[in-house]
Structure formats: structure tokens, C-alpha cells
Structure 1
Amino acid sequence: MKKLKFSIIGCGRISYKHIEGLAKNFEEAELVAVCDIVIERANKRSEEYYNLCGIEPLVYNDYRKMLDEVPIDAIAITTESGYHSEISIYCLNLGKHVLVEKPMALSTADAKNMIAAAEQNKVKLAVCHQNRFNLPIKQLREAIDKGRFGKLINGTARILWSRDMSYYKQAPWRGTWEQDGGTLMNQCIHNIDLLQWMMGGEIDTIYAQTGNYIRSIDAEDFGAIIIRFKNKAIGIVEGTACVYPKNLEETLSIFGETGTVCIGGLAVNKIETWQFADELEDEVALTSFKDDDPDTVYGFGHIPLYKDFIDAIIMNKQPLISGKEGIKAMQIILAAYKSQKTGMPIKYEGLEFSTIEMKNSDIR
């Protein structure tokens, strides 16, 4: 079978996980080019891939030039968040499959335009919510699909992390309304995605309070969200970058009339509580599962994420986290920002919003 030819646009902090994801799927895909406006970063990623696979990707600092000169099937976009939609739509309109980092965009309009571009050009669009591939998360989703919780009551996503000012100064786009958003959009979006995926997806109302307490950034360093789902269940999000002196936890907890599950670990990768009324024979083996923590909060999921995306292209099916799935967590956060701005609960249906509308809002 002919290998899919990939490129990566954006060679910053997260891109090494994309190098790893492609390297571990080498039988079906190979990285042929990397691009970054800082050419040294692109050179570094090219060298990393060469060390893993023995192939040295071409290096560019202009993605348009790269796409003109190199035959490419699929592109991973790992730039600053504010450029995701522009670059994605450009690539999709050239007939390229796109895997875009979270958040897929910073406005609902841009995200919908990305989805439309993928559909019009008959290519795949996927969003990097790699924690959906964690084994405990997959087991939790299976339990929900089987109805083991009975009536869902509530779920909580807690992201209690520390990001000091050196983190923001390392990349000045972080924490800005134009290119990033705050803690909810950058640090919390993965767990918010898991929460909405587990709780039923369709949302009625969102209410949020956010604040900027100790980080000198435009956006929030702490946020709390209450989500009322159409199935009457309630989701609660607590997200912060202000924990002293280091990351404390990232946990996802789901509660129903006949089940309680809490998943923790460094990247929601460990079962901490697993209790159901209908105890199964394999329950002991399941609850004794203890995956080692990954080396970073990025977790283990990029390798199966790439496998899923590659399979979607080869088999002409939708990836697990398509554009229509990837937009959901982003919309929740944008609704939370709108709620903070207005001081009111927000009816979710038909919402149109963007981070840039928060630019002149006082969130302190």
C-alpha cells in the first residue's frame, strides 16, 4: 500500500508529539516536510524524525511554498491557535486532509467554515483531542453506552494546574484573546471535551465565572463553568493555572444513579474509582489497571489519534474526533466567555461567539 505523505505546519512545543505519532505509524504514513516561520524549530523537528525513522523531511518557513512544491496528502497544523482556521481552510481547499491541534479555531464562525471546507472538498478534518484514546476513557465511554450508570446526574472536570509567567513569556501569544484565550481554552479544553462527550453532548444552558488573579495575561487564569445538558444532567468545570507550586490534578468524574467513576492521573489516564451496581466478573481486573503516567500532560494519545486519522483517510470514514466533534468543547468555552461578559446564563443553541469579542471585557 502506498504510504500517506504528511507534513507538519508549526514546530513549537506540542509538535514533538506529532513527530512521535507519525513515527509510530510509519508503516502507513511518512513525514515528508515540516514548516515553521522560525526555521531552527523546523530543522529540529526534521532531525528528530530522521533519528526515529531514517528519513529527513524537507524544511520550509512558508507553508504555501511547501504546498506548491511538495506532494502531500495530509497536514498536521500545530501553530498558534489563532492561525488554525486560516491555515486549515487553505489546506482543505487544496484537497489536503487536515489534523488540527486544539482548539480548532477561536470563533464558531471559523470552525464552521473549516467543517464546510472539508465537506466541500471531500477530505477529512480531525481535531487533536487525544485523551479520548486513553484506555480508561474508552472503558468509561463503553460503560455509558451500555447504560451502566442508569440516569446520569452530574459530571465534573477539574484541571488544577500551574503555569507561571515563564510559560507565558516563552510564547507571547499565550493568554492573548487574539491568538489563544485563557486557561479554559488552552489548558482545560481536553477535559471539557471528555466531560461533554460522556454527559450526553447536547447542551441547554451555560453559566460561567472567570477571573484573572495572578498571571499577567489578557485572558483568565481561573474559570468555573456550570453546564446544563438537555438530558437534565449537570456538568461542572473547575480550571486554573494558579495552583502553587505545581500541577495538582486533572480528573474526570461521572455520577449516575447506579454508577460512580473517577479517572485521574497526570493526563486522565488512571482509574481511581470504579463502582457500579451491576458488578461484572472482570471488574477486579479492570479496576486494578494502573497505566504508568506519561512524561507530560500531553499523555499517550497521539499515537492512536494518528492511527485513527490515517484509517479514516484510507477507509474513507469519519475520524473519531471530526470537525463536528472538535467544535463542541470549543463552543462550550466560547459560551462560558460570553456568560462571563454578560453576567448571565447563556442559552447554547445557535450561539455565535469568538475570543476576540472578549478583548475589551473586564474579567478581573
Structure 2
Amino acid sequence: MVRYGIIGCGHIAKKHVEAIRAVDGAQLVAVCDTDPGRMEAFLEEGVEGYTDSADLVSRSDLDVVNICTPSGLHPDLTVQAAEAGKHVLVEKPMALTMAEADRMIQACADNGVKLSVVHPNRFRPAIRELKKRLERGAFGKISHANATLRWNRNQSYYDQAPWRGTQAMDGGVLMNQAIHNLDLLLWTAGDVEEVASYQATRLRNIEAEDTSVSIVKFKNGALGVIEAAVTLYPRNLEESLSLFGETGTAVIGGPTANWIKTWKFADLTDEEAEEAIRQVEADPFGMPGHQCLIQDMTEAVRTGGEPMVTGEDGRRALGLVVACQTAAERGEPVSMDEVLKGGGCQ
């Protein structure tokens, strides 16, 4: 049995609890929050509550710590868990700066524990099908790719908690909402070479940006556009990932990127393409992404293998966000290599 403890009992922690309960061989044994009232919904037989994270990570029977706090708290809690010999599954973004991400990765390496970052969208059926097509070379040479997030987070959302919308704990639309889509962009279109970006705080009364538009150049020569905003009226409109190549065109979209909107390939007939779309539409959500991650971490702990979404993967997605922020701040294109080496906004 792989035993889990959760630090941070806010909204996202509920998904972690449901996922742990659904995975054979995983067991929730502890939760922690500085507000005892937030823990009440999670306390049941066999689950102990703590208000100090140091007490939770010191448990000898604990294997994995799931970090579900505001983003700015992730680094210190990850290091604390790693130094206590616990594996770590940390919510996105893993950190708000490259230096903090590196500190987390190093702490886990120094203490011989695993680090996985919550990027559950990789497990969506439509995204998995897209990845298979890429691995088979069905797109040929990629010309360009788009990652689009057009969502609504109204002012009442930001007013619910004092950390939301701040630079220190939230990080803005790219960091807090669009980073999942950026992870998918990197996972499918490849590593980025250079970024140019504009960002603005147009409609929300927050410190961080609520709107961002960036142009990226990939190392393979392809171009890309990243559009992200939480200003859409009156509700979420679209989350999409689009890839365009010499022998293939694919758009995964909908309010969340769960549905195949366009699926055209030189090696598929129209009937075969339609069948692929129907198969995804029959179960567009599949196994919940958090459950996939818990299942994966449980197996990694048992076998000694590496998680499917590693700390380095989380760092790569964070790096693209930091590159966009840095390019917007400087008003000029930014080298991705510079950012990944620790340059850029910190």
C-alpha cells in the first residue's frame, strides 16, 4: 500500500482525494491545512489532520506528499517533504520562478525521492490520440501550432481568496490557467527556441496579467501562437490545441480541450477520421487526469521507476511561461535557452 498525505485542503484537494480513493494500492492517511475548518470534509476513519506541515511529513508511514496549496508555497513545502524522505506530487505550476523549480528538483534528487507535477491534460483521450499521430509521423513537417485559452474568471473569483491574482502566489493567466495548455504545446510541437509576447491586465482588478498573446519559434523551425485570457464574457469559451503539418491538420478543442474538432491526415480516409472522432466523443474525458497521476505515482513508488510527468517536465512548462513574461517585460524576443538556464523574470 502506498500511503498519501495532502497539504492544502482547498478546492483542488478534492480531486486528489477522489483520485487516491479510486486507485488500488493507494491510501489517504493524512491531510494538513493551517485552517482546521478546511480539513473537516477530509477527516474520516484512518485519515489524520494536521495544522503544521512538518508534523505531517514526519510520519514514518507516509510515502507521498501531495502539495495542493497556493502556487507560491510549493517550493518550500516540496523541499520540506523531500528532506523528510517523502516522494512529492505537486500541483501546477510547480513554482513561480526557475530558481525555485531548480531548488525543488535538486532537493528531491539529493534525497532520492520522486517528483511529479500535476499536468493531467496529457491523459485526455483526444490528446493521447494526437500524441500517437505525432509519434507515427502522420503530420509530416509541422508548419505551426496554436495554444488557445479563452476562459472566464470574473472578479468574484479573484476576490474569494487574497492570494488569487497576485504575483507572489498566483502568477497570472499563463501561470495559473494556461500552463496546462502550454505543457501540451511543448509535449506535442516540441521545444521552443524564442518567444515574443505582449501581456496586459485589462478587466480584472489584480496584480498579474489577465490577457496574454505570444508568438513562439520552435527549435524545429515551426512557429506558434499562444493566446490566453480570463476575460471572456460571460463564461469559458474555448481551450484548444491546434497542429498544422504538411500531411496532417488537427484541432483539439471545446470549452476544455477534450474534443476532436478537426482530424485530417493523408494516411486516413474520411471514414477513418470520422471513426476516430466518434471514439473520442464516446468518452471524451476518460479516466480523470488526477487519477491517472496517482496511479502512475503509486506504480513508480512500487517499482522504483520514474513518474510519467517529471519535475523536469514541470520545469519546461514553467520556463515557457517565464519566457513569455520576460519577453513582455523587456519588449523584445527572449531566448528560451536563456530562461531555462535561469535568466529572465525571477
Q: TM-score, normalised by structure 2?
A: 0.95
Deviation at 1:282, TM superposition (A): 4.9
1:145-187, Cα deviation, whole Å (9 max, x unpaired):
1110000111111110011111011111011111111111111
Would you say how many aligned residue pairs link Structure 1 and Structure 2? Answer: 341
Q: Distance in 1 between matches of 2:94 and 2:273?
A: 37
Q: Distance in 2 between matches of 1:284 and 1:353?
A: 46
The letter for the 2-side match of 1:248 is L
Q: Which runs of 5+ in 2 are unaligned?
A: none
Deviation at 1:95, TM superposition (A): 1.2
User: How large is the RMSD of aligned CA atoms in angstroms?
Assistant: 1.6
Deviation at 1:71, TM superposition (A): 2.2
Cα distance change on mapping 1:238 and 1:169 into 2, 3 Å: same
Counterpart in the other structure of 1:78: 68
Which of residues 4, 9, 12 in structure 1 aligns to 2:10? 12
DSSP-derived class of the 2:326 partner: helix
Cα distance change on mapping 1:69 and 1:28 into 2, 3 Å: closer
Once the two structures are superposed, the pairs formed by residues 254-293 of structure 1 within 5 Å of their partners are 254-279=243-268, 282-289=272-279, 290-291=281-282
Which of residues 158, 166, 172 in structure 1 aligns to 2:156? 166
Deviation at 1:354, TM superposition (A): 7.1
- 8 Å Cα contact 1:80/1:180 also seen in 2: yes
Counterpart in the other structure of 2:124: 134
Deviation at 1:235, TM superposition (A): 2.0
Q: Distance in 2 between matches of 1:334 and 1:250?
A: 21
Q: Distance in 1 between matches of 2:81 and 2:167?
A: 24
Q: Distance in 1 between matches of 2:210 and 2:131?
A: 30
Q: TM-score, normalised by structure 1?
A: 0.90
Q: Distance in 2 between matches of 1:4 and 1:159?
A: 36
Which of residues 26, 30, 45 in structure 2 aligns to 1:29? 26
- 8 Å Cα contact 1:106/1:354 also seen in 2: no
- 4+ residue runs of structure 1 moved beyond 6 angstroms? none
Which of residues 108, 113, 136 in structure 2 aligns to 1:118? 108
User: Is 1:104–2:59 an aligned residue pair?
Assistant: no
Counterpart in the other structure of 1:40: 37
Q: Distance in 2 between matches of 1:306 and 1:193?
A: 19
User: Is 1:151–2:109 an aligned residue pair?
Assistant: no
The letter for the 1-side match of 2:320 is I
Once the two structures are superposed, the pairs formed by residues 182-331 of structure 1 within 5 Å of their partners are 182-201=172-191, 203-279=192-268, 282-289=272-279, 290-291=281-282, 300-331=288-319
Q: Distance in 1 between matches of 2:109 and 2:177?
A: 29
Once the two structures are superposed, the pairs formed by residues 41-56 of structure 1 within 5 Å of their partners are 41-46=38-43, 50=44, 55-56=45-46
Q: Which runs of 5+ in 1 are unaligned?
A: 358-364
The letter for the 2-side match of 1:116 is Q
1:42-73, Cα deviation, whole Å (9 max, x unpaired):
11123xxx4xxxx4410111110222345210
The letter for the 2-side match of 1:224 is V
